[in-house]
Amino acid sequence: MLLEELKKQVINCKKCSLSETVNNVVFGEGNRHAPIFIIAEAPGKDEDLQGRPFVGKSGQLLDKILDASGFNRTDHVYISNIIKCRPPNNRTPFSDETDSCMPYLLKQIELIDPSIIIMLGATALKNMFGTHMKITKVRGQWLTYNNRLAMPVFHPAALLRNPALKRETWE
């Protein structure tokens, strides 16, 4: 299957009730041959309005962190979320929503075939590695996911809420 075909499927998906309130499904974007796949939680308000991942305040911080690390969105990374539709009021996704949507993300990872996966925040970590995982414990550590290197780091929104977390992330 091609990424474009998957995108069509995701955009027309009605598997959960978020399809009733979504403005724009956010499939993901970046280099489809990127060595780094960044996974976050879910589209927020700005993302829902524009149909693109990380275009709000968190996105600006993410771009700054990528830039300082010598990376950019066009060349080095592909960015998507655990779920592709915005949950009302940005609440954490429910399990029926993540159950419906995770197969799309896993297919996306397979098609893009990155060597490195970066998980932004607790929701990305828990849905990839299990609910027992604690972001505060394992952030910054290399794990493996199907022969790919995988690292959980704090979500940029957490850094904006709590700037004291920034130093560890930059390191």
Dihedral sign, CA of 154, 97, 17, 26? positive
Q: C-alpha dihedral over 141, 123, 53, 67, to 10 degrees? A: -20
Whose tokens are 């996105």? That residue is: 59
Nearest to 114 by CA among 3, 34, 31: 34
For residue 121, what are the contacts with CB-CB under 8 A and spacing of at least 6? Answer: 40, 41, 135, 152, 154, 155, 157, 158
The distance of closest approach from Cβ of residue 103 to ligand URA in the complex, given in angstroms and rounded to an integer, is 19
Asked whether position 42 contacts ligand URA by CB under 6 A, the answer is: yes
Whose tokens are 């075939």? That residue is: 113
Q: Residues 56-75 vs ligand URA: string with x where CB under 6 A?
A: --xx----------------
Asked whether position 39 contacts ligand URA by CB under 6 A, the answer is: no
Asked whether position 101 contacts ligand URA by CB under 6 A, the answer is: no
Q: What is the number of the residue whose Cβ is closest to ligand URA?
A: 40
Asked whether position 119 contacts ligand URA by CB under 6 A, the answer is: no
Asked whether position 40 contacts ligand URA by CB under 6 A, the answer is: yes
Asked whether position 97 contacts ligand URA by CB under 6 A, the answer is: no
Closer to ligand URA by Cβ: residue 16 or 39: 39
Asked whether position 30 contacts ligand URA by CB under 6 A, the answer is: no
Residue 133 burial by Cβ neighbours in a 10 Å radius (0-12, 13-18, 19+): middle
Which residue ranges make up the site for ligand URA (CB under 6 A)? 40-44, 47, 53-54, 58-59, 81, 121-122, 135, 154-155, 158
